[in-house]
Amino acid sequence: MSSPATPELSPAVRESTLARFAEHRRAWDANPALRACYARWYQLLCSALPPRELGAWVELGSGPGFAAEFIPEMILTDIVQAPWHARRAAAEALPFADGEIGALVLFDVLHHVAAPVRFFAEAVRVLRPGGRVLLVEPYISPLSRVIYGRFHPEGVDMSVDPLVTPPVAHEEKDPFLSNQALPTLLFCRKHVRRFLAMFPQLAVSRVERFAGLAYPATGGLSRRPLLPLGLWKALFALESILPEFVFRLFGFRLFVIVERR
Ligand SMILES: C[S@@+](CC[C@H](N)C(=O)[O-])C[C@H]1O[C@@H](n2cnc3c(N)ncnc32)[C@H](O)[C@@H]1O
């Protein structure tokens, strides 16, 4: 199968996206608590990467490029190419040959992808058997639904069908527009059965909720930290010893491994 053509974006959309990357790099440099969170989450990702010999590790939607700090071998890409990205790549039209890739890493990206079904069809095509899609995404728990809904600039819409592709003109879509509910709907609700029926070549081997209030307390990429660093570190350490079921109620993050059979 040949890869579909990478969709075009308007110059205005490209410019505003690059400005967001720069903003996020500044926020990251200024926020040690946020960097500590990401370091732990990239550790989680790293531990699930398949052997490098299987095929390249490619990050989609690398944005500000934080992954380079934690996984130097990763090939960084984004739908809007910045100087630190190896190439431009849209999740729905991957510029790779069939069976060429070992891992596709999406860190806070799936919920921005306009057509998730097209992305997974592309993942089936480019991943070598034994390859993996690794996702770190927002999780919508009873607590995070309130906090994300009230304080996060991105939307939470639990009413959509994650397996239906809306008609979207890529050149008009802001790559930062999102529905934070999408990964929860897809992997933690009844839709997962439909997903597996649609993609029999894929298996969902891990769905893990994690990260409690320590995450929003960092302020994320758009706000100031809510706690002094010492107190924040104590909260972060406490959360790291809590069992997973706690995060079903209070979690903010989801880690998913999807395997190519
Ligand atoms: C919230 S940012 C996450 C950036 C980075 N992974 C991080 O964790 O900081 C979402 C990223 O996904 C990219 N993106 C959005 N839609 C995309 C698509 N269809 N294909 C590839 N990347 C996309 C955006 O340009 C943006 O860089």
Domain of residue 237, CATH code: 3.40.50.150
Q: 97 CA to middle of ligand 1, Å?
A: 22
The atom of ligand 1 lying closest to the CA of 136 is 8
Ligand 1 binding pocket (C-beta < 6 A) is 17, 60-64, 66, 78-80, 90-92, 107-109, 112-113, 175
Q: What is the pLDDT of residues 76-116, one digit of tens each?
A: 999 999 999 999 999 999 999 999 999 999 999 999 998 99
Q: 151 CA to middle of ligand 1, Å?
A: 20
Q: 241 CA to middle of ligand 1, Å?
A: 30
Mean pLDDT, rounded, for 13-38: 97
Q: Are strands 75-78 and 56-60 parallel, antiparallel or unpaired?
A: parallel
Candidates 215, 199, 205, 203; CA nearest to 247 is 215
Q: What is the pLDDT of residues 170-223, one digit of tens each?
A: 777 899 999 999 999 999 988 999 999 999 999 999 999 999 999 999 999 999
Q: 238 CA to middle of ligand 1, Å?
A: 30
Residue whose CA is at the smallest distance from ligand 1 atom 11: 61
Q: Is residue 20 part of a domain?
A: yes
Residue of 78, 85, 106, 119 to mutate, ligand 1, most atoms within 8 A of C-beta: 78
Q: Is residue 2 part of a domain?
A: no
**Separation of alpha carbons 246 and 144, rounded Å:** 13
Residue 8 has pLDDT above 90, yes or no: no
Q: Is residue 244 part of a domain?
A: yes
Domain span including residue 34: 11-260
Q: Is residue 207 part of a domain?
A: yes
**Mean pLDDT of the residues in the chain:** 95
Q: Is residue 3 part of a domain?
A: no
Using a 10 angstrom Cβ sphere, with 0-12 exposed, 13-18 middle and 19 or more buried, the burial of residue 86 is middle
Q: Is residue 4 part of a domain?
A: no
Query: What domain count does the chain have?
Result: 1
Residue 261: Cβ within 10 Å count: 12
Q: Is residue 129 part of a domain?
A: yes
Mean pLDDT, rounded, for 123-141: 98
Q: Is residue 6 part of a domain?
A: no
